[in-house]
Chains A and B, each alone.
Chain A
Amino acid sequence: MHIPDAFIPIWQGAIYWIIALVFIALALRWARNEMSEEKIPLIAVVAAGIFALQSFNLPVSMGTSGHLVGGALAAIILGSPFAAIFILTLVLIVQGVLFGDGGITTMGANIINMGVIGGFVGFYSFKGLMAATGNVNIAAFIAAWLACVIPALACAVEMYFAGTFPLNEGLVAMGLYHALIGVIEGFVTVVAIRLIVAARPDIVDFKIEFPAAKGVDV
């Protein structure tokens, strides 16, 4: 999902960068107002942790592997889509500049896909599903699945606009692959949230107790 340089023309990359910068500014404002500016270092250290947990290979099928994006997890636990934008912006800068995973001219598009779309979709679908079902497992699973699939579809659409991949094939390939990975992301996110609620309920923004969380087998 990390679009590298060359896959998006420079002018389109510039537009995505401008949109991303608006959301980065909003995320910084959120960090100042909601978290108090002093807590920025805390979020930065969590970003390093998210970077590390993205390195765990998750078995998909037929020997292939994927990894967690973590946007939904961060947004749900920290209680704001802007948390995901802030954290994933830091992660994507490090990945792009140090590891070459995701481009420089395409970083705006990547921030929009994984941070903005992933964060907003993950957070608000979780909130909506919680209101509708009251079940954290279902809400977190579907939210994490959507936060994985929809950014992937957005990535396919951006590459179609760029003229570097046809729309139908892109939507089918990205949609199917990430629908599969999304199931794993959803499952792992639910297990991770259950563990976090059991071990550190004070850091979780949504105030819900899991009946089964008391007996999590770690």
Chain B
Amino acid sequence: MIEDLFFIEKQAYRESLMHRLDARVKIILAFAVIIAIVAVPYSIMVYTVGATFFLFFLILWAVSKLPLSVYGKRLVAIVPIWGIIILFQIFFKNKYYTDYHVLYTLPLGISIYTESVEFASILAVKFLISISFIILLSSTTKMQDLLQGASRLGLPAEIALALGMMIRYLFVFGYIFRKVNETLKTKCFDAFDRHLPYRYRLRQLGYTIGTMFIRSYEQGERVYTSMLCRGYGRESHLFITKKPLRGFEWAFLIISLTFIIAVPVTIWLTALRFF
């Protein structure tokens, strides 16, 4: 995962209207969409809500001027594991349906149910929308801006300080991780090489992980000491300047939030009237 760190941050340093938007607006929008789509019951109503939100996402992605390949690359890194679990849903019954109809029967008596296929697709839509907005948020907002935005929104000072320190050193450890991997490669060590005894491979990885832990601890000690030298103490906290939202950002936030709330509510009310 840490390999993607540099790629994600590189995208966040691009220039666009979406990139320039205050981090608070993007955090609120992304979280609002995720909460809204998750809050929609597991019903076919999700298709319409999901399609509308995905259109909204595509518009915002286009405004961000990021290539679609960036979205694709990041999606591919996230989807596979949970994609398989979504796929497995087609074989199982769940509590959201009472009647099940066999769509197809496989050998060994394994059945695929119509309702389970529907449930899997509902889950897939919810998952895709949530992931898409997280990708949009992190691809258009620098990590430091995300932290400052979250702090301005009320993230506790202690967590903000700890997260700030962590984010800063993620890149240091990203480089260390690369170096360690390159060193292992120059020594022709491959953890997946079957010619090497399994126990030996695990031991080497254990030493590498232990070394990484010690390096991080020692880095922490150095940082802590240098912070003390600069007057860091119990009352210290991350300094965040006050930054009021601009008129355009307020307008965008209010219109978008109204849209995010109105879409599921309208579709739900429409569904109640007609079905």
Interface residues of A (CB under 8 A from B): 4-7, 9-10, 13, 24, 28, 31, 36-59, 63, 65, 68, 73, 77, 86, 90, 93-101, 103-105, 163-166, 169, 184, 187-196, 199-200, 203, 216, 218
Given A44-B162, A166-B94, A203-B217: A95 and B212 interface contact (C-beta under 8 Å): no
A94 touches B162 (CB 8 A): no
Closest to B181 in A: A56
B224 touches A5 (CB 8 A): no
* Interface SS, A side: helix
> B250 an interface residue at 8 Å Cβ cutoff?
no
Q: How far is the CA of A120 from the CA of B234 in the complex (A)?
A: 28
Given A6-B37, A38-B234, A52-B216: A192 and B207 interface contact (C-beta under 8 Å): yes
Closest to A96 in B: B134
Q: How far is the CA of A55 from the CA of B180 in the complex (A)?
A: 12
Size class of the contact patch on chain B: 35 or more
A53 touches B213 (CB 8 A): yes
- Given contacts A9-B38, A40-B158, A52-B170, 16 further A-B pairs with CB under 8 A are A6-B37, A37-B234, A48-B165, A48-B167, A52-B212, A53-B209, A54-B1, A55-B177, A73-B213, A77-B213, A100-B135, A163-B42, A191-B207, A191-B210, A195-B207, A218-B207
Q: Could you give, for residues 172-212 of chain B, a 1 whenever the CB lies within 8 Å of some chain A CB and a 0 otherwise? A: 11101100000000000001100000100111011111111
- Chain B contacts of A63 at CB under 8 A? 192
A52 touches B158 (CB 8 A): no
A165 touches B85 (CB 8 A): yes
The one of B8, B159, B220 in contact with A98, judged by C-beta atoms closer than 8 angstroms, is: B8
Interface CB pairs A-B, < 8 A, 22: A10-B38, A28-B156, A31-B158, A39-B224, A41-B162, A42-B223, A48-B167, A49-B219, A51-B166, A57-B191, A59-B192, A65-B192, A73-B213, A93-B163, A98-B143, A100-B131, A103-B130, A104-B134, A187-B203, A191-B207, A191-B209, A200-B218
A13 touches B38 (CB 8 A): yes
The one of A36, A44, A189 in contact with B166, judged by C-beta atoms closer than 8 angstroms, is: A44
> B245 an interface residue at 8 Å Cβ cutoff?
no
Q: How far is the CA of A5 from the CA of B131 in the complex (A)?
A: 8
> B161 an interface residue at 8 Å Cβ cutoff?
yes
The number of residue pairs between A and B whose CB atoms lie closer than 8 Å in the complex comes to 251
B214 touches A196 (CB 8 A): yes
A55 touches B31 (CB 8 A): no
- Chain B contacts of A163 at CB under 8 A? 42, 94-96
> B138 an interface residue at 8 Å Cβ cutoff?
yes
> B153 an interface residue at 8 Å Cβ cutoff?
no
Taking CB atoms and an 8 Å cut-off, the chain B residues in 78-98 that contact chain A are 78, 82, 85, 88-89, 92-96
Q: How far is the CA of A42 from the CA of B217 in the complex (A)?
A: 7
- Chain B contacts of A68 at CB under 8 A? 209
The one of A53, A169, A184 in contact with B92, judged by C-beta atoms closer than 8 angstroms, is: A169
- Chain A contacts of B77 at CB under 8 A? 99
The one of A57, A97, A165, A195 in contact with B210, judged by C-beta atoms closer than 8 angstroms, is: A195
A5 touches B135 (CB 8 A): no
Q: Could you give, for residues 61-105 of chain B, a 1 whenever the CB lies within 8 Å of some chain A CB and a 0 otherwise? A: 000000000000010011000100100110011111000000000
Q: How far is the CA of A100 from the CA of B38 in the complex (A)?
A: 15
- Chain A contacts of B143 at CB under 8 A? 98
Given A5-B38, A105-B34: A49 and B213 interface contact (C-beta under 8 Å): yes
Given A49-B212, A58-B191, A77-B213: A101 and B1 interface contact (C-beta under 8 Å): yes
B220 touches A41 (CB 8 A): yes
Given A44-B162, A100-B135: A59 and B201 interface contact (C-beta under 8 Å): yes
- Chain A contacts of B212 at CB under 8 A? 49, 52-53, 56
> B123 an interface residue at 8 Å Cβ cutoff?
yes
A10 touches B35 (CB 8 A): yes
- Chain A contacts of B205 at CB under 8 A? 56, 58, 188, 191
- Chain B contacts of A104 at CB under 8 A? 31, 34-35, 130, 134
- Chain A contacts of B165 at CB under 8 A? 40-41, 44-45, 48
Given A49-B219, A58-B191: A6 and B224 interface contact (C-beta under 8 Å): no
> B215 an interface residue at 8 Å Cβ cutoff?
yes
- Chain A contacts of B220 at CB under 8 A? 41-46, 49
Ranked 4 nearest A-B pairs via Cβ: A49-B216, A191-B206, A195-B210, A6-B126
- Chain A contacts of B1 at CB under 8 A? 51, 54-55, 95, 99, 101
Given A41-B220, A58-B191: A97 and B173 interface contact (C-beta under 8 Å): no
Given A99-B8, A195-B211: A184 and B163 interface contact (C-beta under 8 Å): no
